[in-house]
Chains A and B, each alone.
Chain A
């Protein structure tokens, strides 16, 4: 009797594990791997009008580059030109956004499109990233690399 109960318990936990594994595999396979611009990913006006406190601090760009290579280049590429699942940061659609908008997007991420939140970075480091994004060389098609809205 005891053995039968023990066997049933063991079978129960095996089934639980199997279901959990299948669930994990299914979700992983269902991840979005193709980047599309998300029109719904809009920062609030209060965030858009914020200015970069490091805007005049050109010495902070180097640190921004270091952070970019560490935190962003895996998806956006070393030059920021994007990969299959991340935005090309040289595009005018990106560069024309205000510093505040870019800061908000780095801080909050976009869960629907796989962009993680970087709120774990100190605030000044996120502004350093914005500063560095402005320095990325403009692509041939982008006419004005650093316009603010």
Chain B
């Protein structure tokens, strides 16, 4: 019965709707924020296949992204994890805020990113890979009890150059639950739409509906042991497909570049955008006209 409940939980996480059109990246952030008043519901999953005989894992998560103002986007994440031959567990939540300090478009557009994470060490969504590499051989029964209250900050630099997006993220993360120093990481991404002019037809498979790209991400150690020793690094081609006006699908296979990285990560994402969510919500509480 418990197993059935676990699979229902995982299915619900993976089947709920979420991001319309936007970049294909799973890890790298660009400077484009959610439009104010819009809510994006997104479900993503990260299937990891470690090297050697360590068990594979499946980590789905739901993301609620809301545009508070044109220069401030906030997101809430709920995440879970299932490990082959082990258990399925809820691994925590994250609250993320991105701020755009400059009002207009520039050659390089900075974004300030702050995220509070209330997770446990069983978390495997791998939204980034700062610090040193994750230990994959710890069973969920142990890792779920190791809590991590973390503050993650990023400096996001992003440019749009002739329809190419080039983004660089510099990550610093502090775990308040354990003395790990400040951990560092990076993510770089490049992407471009396959078609740059929109056709009049409402087509699903037009080139303009696809954005292709690639990203590299990894860790750079911590203040206790800075450098690339025992760190994980990945290269990931990525593709997004705008299925309809409001929804899009994304896929990215990431290849581990070091012996401490998982061999392969397979990521899927589906997003659904509710435009004018704030107005729709407010409408529910508005008094009826006589």
Instruction: Please state if A111 and B197 are interface contacts (CB–CB under 8 Å).
Output: no
Segment at the interface with A among B56-64, B70-78, B83-91: B70-78
* Cβ-based interface call for B121 (8 A): no
Instruction: Please state if B70 and A117 are interface contacts (CB–CB under 8 Å).
Output: yes
Q: How large is the interface on B (under 10, 10 to 19, 20 to 34, 35 or more residues)?
A: 35 or more
Given A20-B95, A65-B200, A67-B198, is A114 in contact with B163 using a C-beta cutoff of 8 Å?
no
Instruction: Please state if A66 and B202 are interface contacts (CB–CB under 8 Å).
Output: yes
Q: Which residues, 86 to 118 on A, are CB-close (under 8 Å) to B?
A: 107-112, 114-117
Q: How large is the interface on A (under 10, 10 to 19, 20 to 34, 35 or more residues)?
A: 35 or more
The interface residues of chain B lying within 8 Å CB-to-CB of A60 are 197-198
Given A27-B69, A64-B198, is A114 in contact with B36 using a C-beta cutoff of 8 Å?
yes
Instruction: Please state if A62 and B160 are interface contacts (CB–CB under 8 Å).
Output: no
Interface of A is mostly: helix
The interface residues of chain A lying within 8 Å CB-to-CB of B33 are 116
* Contact string against A for B residues 21-57, beta-carbon threshold 8 Å, 1 for contact and 0 otherwise: 1110000001011011100000000000000000000
Instruction: Please state if A31 and B105 are interface contacts (CB–CB under 8 Å).
Output: no
Task: Tell me the smallest distance from the CB of B78 to a CB of chain A, in Å.
Answer: 15
Instruction: Please state if A63 and B200 are interface contacts (CB–CB under 8 Å).
Output: yes
* Cβ-based interface call for A52 (8 A): no
The interface residues of chain B lying within 8 Å CB-to-CB of A110 are 70
Instruction: Please state if A66 and B198 are interface contacts (CB–CB under 8 Å).
Output: yes
The interface residues of chain A lying within 8 Å CB-to-CB of B180 are none
Cα separation A3 to B104 with both chains bound (whole Å): 51
* Cβ-based interface call for A15 (8 A): no
Q: Which residues, 67 to 93 on A, are CB-close (under 8 Å) to B?
A: 67, 69-70, 74-75
Interface-centre pick from B21, B30, B74, B197 (highest chain A CB count, 10 A) = B197
Instruction: Please state if B196 and A122 are interface contacts (CB–CB under 8 Å).
Output: yes
* Cβ-based interface call for B143 (8 A): no
Instruction: Please state if B245 and A114 are interface contacts (CB–CB under 8 Å).
Output: no
Instruction: Please state if B196 and A123 are interface contacts (CB–CB under 8 Å).
Output: yes
The interface residues of chain B lying within 8 Å CB-to-CB of A20 are 95, 116
* Cβ-based interface call for B258 (8 A): no
* Residues of chain B at the chain A interface (Cβ within 8 Å): 21-23, 30, 32-33, 35-37, 67-72, 74, 95, 100, 103-105, 116, 118, 149, 160, 162-163, 165, 193, 196-202, 208, 245, 275-276, 278
**15 A-B pairs, CB-CB below 8 angstroms?**
A13-B118, A24-B68, A27-B72, A31-B36, A62-B201, A66-B200, A70-B245, A109-B104, A116-B70, A120-B21, A122-B163, A122-B197, A122-B208, A125-B197, A128-B198
* Residues of chain A at the chain B interface (Cβ within 8 Å): 13, 16, 20, 24, 27-28, 31, 59-67, 69-70, 74-75, 107-112, 114-117, 119-120, 122-125, 128
